[in-house]
């Protein structure tokens, strides 16, 4: 895979109103399960697609995301997907950070007028756009103009299991992260 893939989802664009209604339900459930915890920073405690089950819209988004991932990375054995909801006011936009897993991405649902700035490129965010790239790539989000609504995206990481000839067998051990679900 090159540095990143940008995919425009016509499904998300067409169904955005209903998708945002499902997100509101998911936010209420998250609040009940994790009172006073931010949906971004509680990422190891839940997965967006489990939180929003059995939403047909999120089943379709999951299928589209899964296909995008599987067609763009060489690993095809054990893949795990971690996913969370970013629900931010303008003053809460994420500053410089990276992700410890090999792949990272985000799905724009209500991205306002923002850009995601990486160290070597910038993504102009659009509703329905899915960004998928390398995980260890520092980035931040900036507002191009003031906004009063929430910026809503779904962040995700993909964890892979090494397949090097150097390992006879590799067995990843469980660790405190309820956010991962099997992708393959």
pTM above 0.85, yes or no: yes
- Per-residue pLDDT of the chain (184 residues), as tens digits, is 788 999 999 999 999 999 999 999 999 999 999 999 999 999 999 999 999 999 999 999 999 999 999 999 876 678 999 999 999 999 999 999 988 889 999 999 999 999 999 999 999 999 999 999 998 899 999 999 999 999 999 999 999 865 545 445 556 677 778 899 998 7
CATH architecture of residue range(s) 4-160 = Sandwich (2.60)
């Amino acid at each position: 895979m090159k540095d990143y893939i940008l995919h425009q989802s016509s499904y998300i664009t067409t169904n955005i109103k209903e998708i945002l209604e499902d997100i509101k339900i998911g936010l209420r459930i998250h609040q009940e399960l994790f009172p006073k915890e931010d949906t971004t920073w509680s990422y190891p405690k839940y997965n967006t697609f489990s939180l929003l089950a059995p939403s047909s819209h999120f089943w379709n988004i999951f299928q589209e995301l899964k296909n995008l991932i599987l067609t763009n990375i060489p690993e095809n054995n054990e893949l795990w997907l971690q996913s969370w909801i970013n629900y931010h006011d303008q003053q809460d936009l994420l500053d410089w950070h990276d992700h410890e897993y090999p792949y990272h991405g985000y799905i724009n649902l209500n991205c306002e007028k923002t850009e995601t700035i990486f160290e070597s490129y910038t993504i102009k965010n659009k509703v329905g756009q899915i960004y998928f790239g390398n995980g260890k790539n520092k980035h931040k989000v900036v507002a191009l103009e003031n906004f009063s609504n929430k910026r809503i995206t779904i962040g995700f990481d993909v964890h892979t299991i090494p397949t090097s000839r150097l390992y006879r067998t590799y067995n990843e051990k469980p660790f405190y992260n309820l956010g991962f679900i099997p992708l393959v």
